[in-house]
Amino acid sequence: MTEGNQESCYSHRQFCSLGPLPPRTPARPDPQVPRERALGRCAHGKIGAFYFFRDGSEDDPAFGFCDIELSVQHVAPGTVRLELYCIADGYQSLRGVGTRHPLRIAVMAGDRMLGVADWHFADVICGHADPMSFAADLDIADELFAQIDRAELMKTIGEARPCE
């Protein structure tokens, strides 16, 4: 344990390709992001899960996020809105804390990073599966929007507390 009864965690990098919004079907819910589709062109993708693991462990998830949807949307000249919607997975071994170590989300064009947003997520509460969302506007040149092909949840460190 570290200072203040906090435990250090780490995550692995996860990414998804971005493409057109999926069409509506009876078997699939409508995409949760972007919230305002009429604002401009957009691309959408999904990541099944992103977990933080206890330091020193390769298979002991402390907390995480699942059913992650990501979108990028051209909302104004030189501005791309990154949006995320997910379910926090508090059914693991610890309570996730996002105040000091944000989840970093990169917008990519091939191997080139076009922008990064830091999400200081709300606590992932033990015994809960709560919806969470995030949005950030990034300065990305208009001509680069068409080149955006993926979003990446970057490898990072995290903090967690014991469940109460």
pTM to 2 decimal places:
0.92
The pLDDT score that the predictor gives to residue 155 is 96
The pLDDT score that the predictor gives to residue 77 is 97
**Cα–Cα distance for residue pair 131/103, rounded to 1 Å:** 16
The pLDDT score that the predictor gives to residue 25 is 82
pLDDT along the chain (164 residues), means of 10: 73 96 82 93 96 90 96 97 97 93 96 97 95 98 97 95 88
